[in-house]
Structure 1
């Protein structure tokens, strides 16, 4: 049986690529420009934040591995974002390989940033990181509109 989460993530990667190619072709010079209505964050800020969310939940919290967070200050071009998300894909692959289709039986224990102890299942962690990405992808596409570019449809089901 094929792994549904692997297939699901493949669709997420396809939708992400539509967004990143659009930014590369239309906003390369502006993708680090802050947008006042988004707390002066830029598309780049949100892309790095989203990548770092994968790092925290899948690598640090679930797998108990160390991994450096990406620094938005070290990103100068959209090609840097493509490279970062290549690494995110490897993080997801490591997480899903670790699970080996045992999503129901895997629980991960850890602490939230405020120190609160929590126990989360694999399905909840994976769902969190992918829905978090789509939340911020929507914000990034809105930022593109504010910067004068009409974005493409970046949903999983696209025209």
Structure 2
């Protein structure tokens, strides 16, 4: 069965993936030290820290909550460079595919999802989980670009529709 049948939102995630690719390609043009540099206006977090946070959010909401699969979540030291960040997002891509296959045909069915570690159930649909992680990513993508501007770079267009 084609992935679009299992995961009708696969074309939408392809757009997210493309926008993320533009951001990561832009990050490859930055000095590696600047990717890790704390930015005071962002609570002394770095661009790398925010990107790891994005990957961690996918792993928490889709992996731990959506698939009920416990496991370690990444932390910034787990991604010392852009290659490691790309690896984290390759794992995110695989997780999105797995989640899509798991919820195939049930995107709008509300179910009580247990939130680790306490296990408190929250009524959600798979579509809500998926929408949450992709909108969260775009929120932080904008922050990463703003951080780069504060470090003296001129950000590029990383929107889904790039001109």
Question: CA offsets, 1:41-80, max 9 Å, x none?
Answer: 1001100111010011001011111221112113221111
- Greater shift after overlay, 82-91 or 22-31? 22-31
**Deviation of the 1:4 alpha carbon:** 3.5
Question: CA offsets, 1:10-69, max 9 Å, x none?
Answer: 000000000001111224221010100011110011001110100110010111112211
Check conservation: 2:66, 2:113, Cα contact below 8 A. yes
Question: What is the aligned counterpart of 1:143 among 139, 147, 152?
Answer: 147
Task: Tell me the number of residue pairs that the alignment of Structure 1 and Structure 2 aligns.
Answer: 159
Go from structure 1 to structure 2 and tell me whether the alpha carbon gap of 1:119 and 1:27 turns closer, same or farther (over 3 Å shift). farther
What is the TM-score of this pair, normalised by structure 2? 0.90
**Deviation of the 1:110 alpha carbon:** 1.3
- Greater shift after overlay, 101-110 or 48-57? 101-110
State the superposition RMSD in angstroms.
Answer: 1.8
Question: What is the aligned counterpart of 1:90 among 70, 94, 117?
Answer: 94
Aligned to 1:29: 33
Aligned to 2:50: 46
Instruction: Give the unaligned 5+ runs of structure 2.
Output: none
**Deviation of the 1:151 alpha carbon:** 1.0
**Deviation of the 1:84 alpha carbon:** 0.6
Cα distance in 2, alignment partners of residues 97 and 67 from structure 1: 20
What is the TM-score of this pair, normalised by structure 1? 0.92
